[in-house]
Structure 1
Amino acid sequence: MNAALVSFIRDLYQSNEFIPLHAPVFAGNELKYVSATIESTFVSSVGKFVDEFEAKIATFTGTAQAVATVNGTAALHTALYLAGVKSGDAVITQPLTFVATCNALYHMGATPVFVDINTATLSLCPQALAEFLQQHAKTDDDGCYLKRNGQRIRAVMPMHTFGHPAALDELSQICQQWQLILIEDAAESLGSFYKGRHTGTIGQFGALSFNGNKIITTGGGGMLLCATEQDGSHAKHITTTAKVPHRWEFYHDEPGFNFRLPNLNAALGCAQMERLSYFLTQKRKLAMQYKTFFADSAYQFVDEPAECQANFWLNAIICPDQQSRDQLLQSTNDAGVMTRPVWQLMHHLPAFKDAMRGPLPFAENLAQRLINLPSSVSELS
C-alpha cells in the first residue's frame, strides 16, 4: 500500500519533486491586484480591495455581512466577543481541532469544555453534546450553567474539520433548547455547504481563515460572517479600534481591536476568489481519485457527510490502526510526499489538559489512525 500510494500521488501531480500537503496556486490576477495596491499607496486597512473582498465573500456565502480580519483567530475572537463571552465563561467545543479554536477562548479568558466528535462528520457530535448537557448542565431564566460550579456556558463552537460540515441542524436545535449561542469555526470550509447553506452562516457567527494553506489565501487573513447586519456593522466598528469617523479627531467610543485586514492582503483575496469555483471543482476531482484508490483497501477515505457538499480542503484517510498509520507517515515522508497526522487533541496539550470534558472515545481513536494526504489543487481533467 505505502509504495503504491506514493506512486499514485506522484502520478496525480505529475511530479518527482517534493509534494507538499497544500500549496497555494497563483495563476490569475494576484500580481496585478497586489501591484495596484502598492501603486495606490493604500496598503493598510483602508482601500478598495478590503470592501470588495468582503462583498465577494458575503455574496458567495450568503451571509448578512462579512468583516475581514487579520487572521482566522481574530475572526473567532471577535465572534466570541460579540456573542457576549466573558472571562470565566465556558464554551463547549471539540477536542479534535486546530489549536486556534482554543487559543481564541483562552485570550477571551474563557475555558473550553470538550465534547466528543462523531465519525460521520469528524466534528462535534450532537448526541454527545445533548448527553453532556443533560448530565452536567442546568438552565434558568438567565442562561445555561454547569451544575458542578455554576460556571456560565455561553456558547457552542463546532469546527468543520477539513472542510466537512458539522451536523448543524441538530447542533442548532440543542443550542436553542439550552440557551446557547452557536458559533461556527468555519476556518477550513470556504466552499462547503450544509443542506444548501454555506458553512459559517447557520450559527449567529462564523469564522473563515485565509492562511497560506487554505483553499484560497490572502497570505494571512480571516473573515467574520455575521447573521445580522447589525452585528456586522458592530464587528467592523470594533475591529477598526472602535474609531468614530471624523475628518481629524481621534475618538473611540468603546474598547476595540486592531483586527482589520490590510488592503494588500485583500487584493490577493479578490484575485483568489475569481478562481474559487475552479479550485473547488479540481479539489472534488482529486478527492474522487483518492476515494477510488482506497475503495477496496483497509483504509477508509473520509467522504463528505450526507446532504452536504464539502470543499475537500484536506483529504484524509482512517488507517486500520496506529501502527499502519505510523508506517504510512514514515514511508510517504521519506519518499518526499508530505502526509500528516491529525492535530494533537486539545486536552493533550499543556494549556488545556485540565479542561472539563465528557467521554472522548471517537476523538481518541481517530487521533491515532487519521492521516491527511496531499490536497493542493491539481490539473486533473
Structure 2
Amino acid sequence: MYNHIINFIRETFHQPEGVVPLHAPCFIGNEKKYLNECIDSTFVSSVGKFVDRFEEMVAEYTGAKRAVVCVNGTNALHMAMLLVGVEHGDEVLTQPLTFIATANALSYIGAHAVFLDVDRDTMGLSPAKMRKWLQENAEIRCSECFNKTTGRKIKACVPMHTFGHAVHLEELAELCREYHIELVEDAAESMGSFYKGRHTGTFGKVGAVSFNGNKTITTGGGGMLLFMDEELGKQAKHLTTQAKVPHRWEFVHDCVGYNYRMPNINAALGCAQMEHLQEFVDNKRELAWKYATYFEGTDIQFFTEPRDCTSNYWLNVVLLKDKEARNRFLEETNDAGIMTRPVWQLMNRLPMFKDCECGDLSNAEWLEARIVNIPSSVRLS
C-alpha cells in the first residue's frame, strides 16, 4: 500500500537497498582532528579547552548570555528545575506528549507533574489549555501560585519543543509571568530552531538542550543549559562541578553539588559539530520541503513548522488518518527497511505517572494515534 512512499524515501536518500535510518549522526568536519588533539593533551575528562570553547560557541549561536555543558539533556533539565527553585512536593506543569526525560527530571526532585494538553499546530504545550486549567485550578497567594485542590505550590512550567518545532513561546511566557510560575524550556530537540528570530531555550529562565547521538548535532551524549542571566549561569557551573570552590590544591565544597560535567573529549566532538550546525539545519529544511511537496495532495499530512517558528526539522512528522492506518504504515515501512517510529506513549499512560493530575488531553491523544516519524538524517552529496 505504501510502496510509492518507500521508493520515494529511498530515492531521496540515494539508498536503493539496506536500512534507511531514522536519524544518523553526521561527521564531515574536524571531529577526528579535535578528538586527537584532546587525547594528545591528556585532558579527556571534565577540564580542557574544548569544554570552554563549546560553551562559547553555543552561547554565541543561540544568543544566550551563558551556556553551561552537562553530561546529558536529562541532567540539564534536572539542574534547570533545581536552579529555578523547584522543591520536593511542588507541582510542575508540562505536556504528556514528550520524551520521558521531561517527566523523569522533575521526579528526581520529588516534584509532581501536572499534564496539560498540547496544540495541534506545534505538538507542544498549549497556552490556551494551560490558561483554562489555571483559571479553574490555581490561585495566587503572597506572589506564589498554588493548586486550590491539592494545596501544593505550582512552581514551574516546562514546555517541550517537539521534534524541533517551537511552542507558542510569547503566550506561555506571559502566562507564566501572570501566575508567578517559572518557565523552563525543554529545548532538547530544538538546537537550531528559532521563534520570532530568537533561539529556543532563551525565553525561559533556563533552557535545556540535548546532544544525544540522534540529535541534529551530537557529542555522543551530552547536554547544555542556556541562560539570559549570567549570574544564574555562574551558579549552574558551580553546582554542576560538585560545588567545588576554586583553589590550586584544596578540596573545598560549599554546598551539595552534582557531577554533571561534560568530558572534554565529548566537547571536542561538539566543537566540530557546531562548525557545521547551520549547514545541517539548512540541509534538513531542504529535506522537509521535499517531503512537504511530495505529500501535498495525498491523504497523509506532512507536519510543517508552526507560525513564527523557523524549525530545525529534527525529526520529520507525518500524520496518518487514524491509529489503524498509522500501525499499517509503521509495519510496511519497517518491513521494507525504512526506519519509522510512532510518537512516545503519553506520559500519563505510563505506570509511574498514571496518578498525576491531568487536564483535558484531547489534542495529545489525537496526535498520539496518528504521528509517525520518517527518516530525517542530513543527506550528504
Shorter-chain TM range is over 0.9
| Deviation of 1:140 (Å) | 1.2
Q: Secondary structure at the match of 1:42?
A: coil
Q: CA RMSD in A?
A: 0.7
| Deviation of 1:3 (Å) | 0.6
Distance (whole Å) between structure 2 residues aligned to residue 17 and residue 334 of structure 1: 11
Deviation track 1:17-39 (CA, whole Å, cap 9, x = no partner) reads 11110000111100010111111
Q: How many residues align?
A: 380
Alignment partner, residue 14 of structure 1: 14
Alignment partner, residue 366 of structure 2: 365
| Deviation of 1:212 (Å) | 0.1
Distance (whole Å) between structure 2 residues aligned to residue 184 and residue 295 of structure 1: 32
Unaligned 5+ segments in structure 1 are none
Alignment partner, residue 222 of structure 1: 223
Write out aligned runs for 1:49-198 (5 A). Answer: 49-198=50-199
Q: Secondary structure at the match of 2:268?
A: helix
Q: Secondary structure at the match of 2:53?
A: helix
Deviation track 1:152-188 (CA, whole Å, cap 9, x = no partner) reads 0001000000000010000011001100000000000
Alignment partner, residue 3 of structure 1: 3
Alignment partner, residue 283 of structure 1: 284
Q: Secondary structure at the match of 1:113?
A: strand
Q: Secondary structure at the match of 2:156?
A: strand
The residue type equivalent to 2:27 in the other structure is F
Alignment partner, residue 232 of structure 2: 231
| Deviation of 1:379 (Å) | 3.1
Q: Secondary structure at the match of 1:200?
A: coil
Q: Secondary structure at the match of 2:270?
A: helix
The residue type equivalent to 2:142 in the other structure is D
TM-score (norm 2): 0.99
| Deviation of 1:307 (Å) | 1.5
The residue type equivalent to 1:98 in the other structure is F
Distance (whole Å) between structure 2 residues aligned to residue 4 and residue 155 of structure 1: 46
| Deviation of 1:298 (Å) | 1.1
Q: Secondary structure at the match of 1:156?
A: strand
| Deviation of 1:293 (Å) | 0.9
Q: Secondary structure at the match of 1:139?
A: strand
Distance (whole Å) between structure 2 residues aligned to residue 210 and residue 223 of structure 1: 8
Distance (whole Å) between structure 2 residues aligned to residue 353 and residue 294 of structure 1: 36
TM-score (norm 1): 0.99
Distance (whole Å) between structure 1 residues aligned to residue 228 and residue 205 of structure 2: 5
Alignment partner, residue 323 of structure 1: 324
Distance (whole Å) between structure 1 residues aligned to residue 238 and residue 309 of structure 2: 34
| Deviation of 1:294 (Å) | 0.7
Distance (whole Å) between structure 2 residues aligned to residue 111 and residue 247 of structure 1: 42
Distance (whole Å) between structure 2 residues aligned to residue 317 and residue 13 of structure 1: 17
| Deviation of 1:142 (Å) | 4.0
Alignment partner, residue 301 of structure 1: 302
The residue type equivalent to 1:219 in the other structure is G
| Deviation of 1:299 (Å) | 1.1
Q: Secondary structure at the match of 2:372?
A: strand
Identity between Structure 1 and Structure 2 (%): 55
The residue type equivalent to 2:296 in the other structure is A
Alignment partner, residue 245 of structure 1: 246
Deviation track 1:189-216 (CA, whole Å, cap 9, x = no partner) reads 0000000100000111000000000000
Q: Secondary structure at the match of 1:144?
A: strand
The residue type equivalent to 1:313 in the other structure is W
| Deviation of 1:283 (Å) | 0.1
Q: Secondary structure at the match of 2:155?
A: strand
Q: Deviation above 3 Å: which 4+ runs of structure 1?
A: none
Distance (whole Å) between structure 2 residues aligned to residue 60 and residue 123 of structure 1: 23
